[in-house]
Amino acid sequence: SQQGEEDPQALSIQEGENATMNCSYKTSINNLQWYRQNSGRGLVHLILIRSNEREKHSGRLRVTLDTSKKSSSLLITASRAADTASYFCATDGGYTGTASKLTFGTGTRLQVTL
Amino acid sequence: NAGVTQTPKFRVLKTGQSMTLLCAQDMNHEYMYWYRQDPGMGLRLIHYSVGEGTTAKGEVPDGYNVSRLKKQNFLLGLESAAPSQTSVYFCASSYGPGERFFGPGTRLTVL
């Protein structure tokens, strides 16, 4: 079952513009992570935000988390053509049994054009 | 460091055939995972391991078996492949509950 749902499913912007992607989830979490996947490649971890954090930055990335609304957003500022990829949020609900389970959403496909 | 590697990269099977996907990591991670990725479904956890000699079921374990005989390797087996197992398979590893490190994937087609 999907925990995180990204919105929009697809986004097309021009180079230099900002891109915002949203993620909503259903149950309580320990942390939320964002990953990037270039076409035909594996996922690459971008940023992790814990449930007691509200905002986190990493280079051109800004992630916010609102646990009361069960939502997160990923902002990419000054986008570049190289940012073209699919972006996934993943929620970590904490340990269940022997390990924590990371549940992925269906992703937002970002296209950055010159 | 190579990170997480997967072999093979591509494979075509006929229904009923068996195969093993190999995942190797050189980061000394305790945890390893197998996911499958299907269009519109995101990634779903098949099986995982929290250490050498241990395995556990994930979200979609039916039709798959795994083994973790060595800490650096995690094998995913399909005993009798079915068309529903056509997918892209990703292996990942981690120190603990945080960041996962993913391999490049194996694209499997079952005819």
Please answer whether residues A47 and A58 qualify as being in contact, where contact means their C-beta atoms are separated by less than 8 angstroms: yes
Per-residue pLDDT averaged across A87-97, rounded? 80
pLDDT band at B2 (very low <50, low <70, confident <90, very high): confident
Q: For residue A100, is pLDDT > 70?
A: no
Of A30, A88, A100, the CB nearest to B42: A88
Cβ contacts from A onto B, under 8 A: 64
pLDDT band at A1 (very low <50, low <70, confident <90, very high): very low
Q: What is the pLDDT of residue B74?
A: 98
Smallest CA–CA distance, residue B5 to chain A, in Å, is 10
Measured distance CA(B78)–CA(B17) in Å, rounded: 8
Q: For residue A65, is pLDDT > 90?
A: yes
B60 touches chain A (CB under 8 A): no
The residue ranking higher by pLDDT, B96 or B43, is B43
> Helix, strand, coil: what percent of chain B each, to 5?
5, 50, 45
Q: What is the pLDDT of residue A102?
A: 87
pLDDT band at A96 (very low <50, low <70, confident <90, very high): low
Cα distances (angstroms) measured from residue B35 to each of A21, A42, A53, B24, B93: 23, 11, 28, 15, 11
Choosing among B6, B35, B43, which should be mutated to test the A contact, i.e. which has the most A CBs within 10 A? B43
